[in-house]
Copies of this chain bind each other. A is one copy, B any other.
Amino acid sequence: MLKRQPLVVEVLRGPAVESVHNVMVAVVNELGQLLHGWGNPSFGTFPRSAIKMLQALPLIESGAADKFGLDDKMIALACASHRGEKEHLAVLSQWAEKVGIAESLLSCGPHLPYNESSAHDFIRRNQKPNAFCNNCAGKHEAMITTCLHLGEDPHGYANYEHAAQKRLRNILTETMKVDHSKVPHAVDGCGIPTYAVPLQAIASGMSIFVNSKAPVLRKGACQRIIKAVIGNPFYIAGSDDFATAVIEKTQGRAIIKGGAEGVYAGFLPEKKMAFAVKTADGAGRAAQLATAQVLLQLGGMTVEEAKALSKFTMPIITNWKGEPVGKLRIANDQ
């Protein structure tokens, strides 16, 4: 079932195709072996935020989460691209207080909340966003928390050579089976290294969450992260987010996470499959639609669930008056 052509996502305006996206997909089994997909499974891909669940493993495996008594919302936030809603910011602050993390230690940089009404609240109050508002703040708190637990100086934790990043390279090397000290690396939006790897390696990495043969410590850490995410989908993104909506609606039969430049990664606990998606041109709108298609084809989401999430799975384009004028669709392989 490996398709040589990428998934084609068409953007229609009225009756005519206005724009076209090519999306690559790799699907793997619980051992990370390629099962099927669309397009080139070796497409060099920066996973960006789509693998935050993998990046959260050291927080659990090191014992840091237990040591500091982090709750499931905090663990979900470690895996999150949070949308800056007040509940997200409240839990991030509780976590920082609990561990003793000054905002100035976070190196992710500030941005206004992704959630529009939260952003407007900041603007109305003339309040500058701080590093906790950064969608990656939970991942950064997790890295700092782990350093503190292990007795490492957390300053400079975002640098390529810092112990925190070496630890992440090791985790990614083990789970993706690609030596992360030898692949191209660059700086992610939040300042930490991100690594370009074949798309199927990202899927392989995510398969650790469904791998019944994983080592006990890792399996336990994966289970704890899965429990936290399924129990708190709002905390891995927020209102009006596709990943949050899918995890909620499927009650954890599909767990997905998006990343910048058109990436999604995820896994289906019951089906013991994992996948990764990348739009060649970086468009998130196409990656989202392709991910919905993958979930439908793999049986991670029912047709009824997809219909209930039609805002994301069958998106309509509207004009400024809110009237429908177009739509997105998968052009092949329906």
Most chain B C-beta atoms within 10 Å of own C-beta, residue among A19, A280, A320:
A320
A204 within 8 Å of B by Cβ? no
CB A307 to nearest CB in B, in angstroms, measures 25
B21–A44 touching, CB < 8 Å: no
B19–A187 touching, CB < 8 Å: no
Q: How far is the CA of A186 from the CA of B327 in the complex (A)?
A: 12
Residues of B within 8 A of A261 (CB): 11, 18-19
A217 within 8 Å of B by Cβ? no
Stretch at the interface among A105-113, A245-253, A269-277: A105-113
A15 within 8 Å of B by Cβ? yes
Given A11-B261, A120-B123, A261-B11, A19–B319 Cβ distance below 8 Å? no
A151 within 8 Å of B by Cβ? no
A188 within 8 Å of B by Cβ? yes
B319–A14 touching, CB < 8 Å: no
B281–A319 touching, CB < 8 Å: no
A196–B320 touching, CB < 8 Å: no
CB A96 to nearest CB in B, in angstroms, measures 18
A320–B19 touching, CB < 8 Å: no
CB A160 to nearest CB in B, in angstroms, measures 11
Given A18-B46, A123-B123, A124-B124, A320–B111 Cβ distance below 8 Å? yes
A17 within 8 Å of B by Cβ? yes
CB A290 to nearest CB in B, in angstroms, measures 13
CB A118 to nearest CB in B, in angstroms, measures 12
Given A46-B18, A123-B124, A124-B123, A187–B325 Cβ distance below 8 Å? yes
Residues of B within 8 A of A190 (CB): 319-320
Residues of B within 8 A of A326 (CB): 186
Given A187-B14, A321-B107, A19–B134 Cβ distance below 8 Å? no
9 A-B pairs closest in CB distance: A14-B186, A109-B320, A19-B282, A109-B321, A13-B186, A16-B184, A187-B325, A16-B196, A281-B281
Query: Could you list 19 further interchain pairs (A-B, Cβ under 8 angstroms) beyond the known A187-B319, A189-B320?
Result: A14-B184, A14-B186, A16-B44, A18-B282, A19-B262, A20-B280, A20-B281, A21-B281, A108-B321, A109-B322, A123-B124, A186-B325, A188-B319, A189-B319, A190-B320, A191-B321, A281-B283, A282-B283, A283-B283
